[in-house]
A and B are shown apart, each in its own frame.
Chain A
Amino acid sequence: MKFGCDTVRKRLTLLNAGAPLDADLSEHVAACEGCRHVFRSKHALWSLLGEYDAPSLTVDLFPGVEQQLERNRRRPLRESLAAWTEALVPRPRFAGAALAALGIIIGAWTGTMLTATEDAQTSDPPASVESETYASIFEPSPPGFLGATDPWDVQGAKVP
């Protein structure tokens, strides 16, 4: 015999019962009582499993398949629409946070604008005012101012 009993029994167990035994296996099984027993046992189990039959399908699956495909086809459109809607109209639980954020932004912008306006009113004057002021401080008074020949000669000035 070509195979030992262990090999034959393993092969018998794994063999589909419907499949014919090859020549080497059949020769061994015919000659070996133990392996014949395994073979019969295998057939008994295999035929017993045949009792687990499935019922027949009573409905045509195609209409359901078609409906499911149609639902799947519409899904991307629905999902993108829902995403847009959600972006435009926030869900209630986020509405408060969104309003608060909006309020902070508007408040910050208003504050910035007011500060800028105040600064504009109090800081650097226009060029004409500047020249006039500096001129009055640094430029000498016209001769004869209060009777002094030297405009910086305060002591020489005559107090009226």
Chain B
Amino acid sequence: MKSVAQGDHEALRSVVRRHQEAVFRLAYRYLGTRAEAEDMAQETFVRLFEAAPRYQPTAGFRSYLFTIVTRLCLNKKARFSNSRELPTDASVLEELPSGAATSPEHDLISQERRSAVRAAILALPDEQRMAIVLFRFQGLSYAEIAEAMSKTVPAVTSLIWRANERLRDGLHHLLPDEKSKVRKDSPSHRLDRTEAKIP
């Protein structure tokens, strides 16, 4: 980072190439589309370069980088938060990596499951979604998430707890032990309706 702070573009190139995949994946899981995630990842590295002279190596570099992308994503006012509409880009599902499908039928089921999971995650409120993405997919600790989101650890705990509950409700039909516990007034119905919008 010292070299980056001195304006060394080669050092920045090295940092970008090393971390671009992780930053892109985090942005993608939060935003839900490739184009937005690429733009966000690019903006993250631009901010990183511009903020490099002020960088203090108090925390790990990875946490610092995730803090930048987290705050950019949250500031972006993800379009799902107000309208509760999910991206309807048909290519979204096609670009997701498919599992090791053994037959077309299995492939279809697998795609439906992925679609449902994606819809449930993208239907979460912004902060819950970011917290669960950082926790479940990026493997950050509660303290790191709190730092990245400018929140306290108990607040993050609460966000993850509520996200878990909503996801459990939204995905009950895919969870083996939860099928018998469907509540008609649960948020899952909202999620089901949202899912229907995905092509």
Q: Is the interface of B mostly helix, strand, loop or mixed?
A: helix
Range of interface residues on B (Cβ < 8 Å): 35 or more
- Give the docked Cα–Cα distance between A37 and B99 (Å): 27
Decide if B12 touches A14 in the complex (CB within 8 Å). no
Q: Is the interface of A mostly helix, strand, loop or mixed?
A: helix
- Give the docked Cα–Cα distance between A45 and B169 (Å): 10
15 A-B pairs within 8 Å (CB atoms) are namely A13-B164, A44-B177, A44-B178, A46-B136, A52-B118, A56-B21, A56-B97, A57-B20, A57-B24, A61-B20, A61-B42, A62-B17, A62-B20, A65-B42, A69-B49
Decide if B136 touches A65 in the complex (CB within 8 Å). no
What's the count of A-B pairs with C-beta under 8 Å?
Answer: 106
- Give the docked Cα–Cα distance between A41 and B168 (Å): 9
Once A14-B161, A55-B28 are accepted as A-B contacts, the answer to whether A48 and B174 lie under 8 Å apart by CB is yes
Instruction: List, in ascending order, chain A residues with CB within 8 A of B95's CB.
Output: 55
Indicate if A40 sits at the interface (CB-CB under 8 A). Answer: yes
Decide if A60 touches B171 in the complex (CB within 8 Å). no
- Give the docked Cα–Cα distance between A1 and B176 (Å): 28
Seen from chain B, the residues whose Cβ lies within 8 Å of a Cβ on chain A are: 9, 12-13, 16-17, 20-21, 24-25, 28-29, 34, 37-38, 41-43, 45-46, 49-50, 95-97, 99, 110, 113-114, 117-118, 121, 132, 135-137, 139, 157, 160-161, 164, 167-168, 171, 174-178
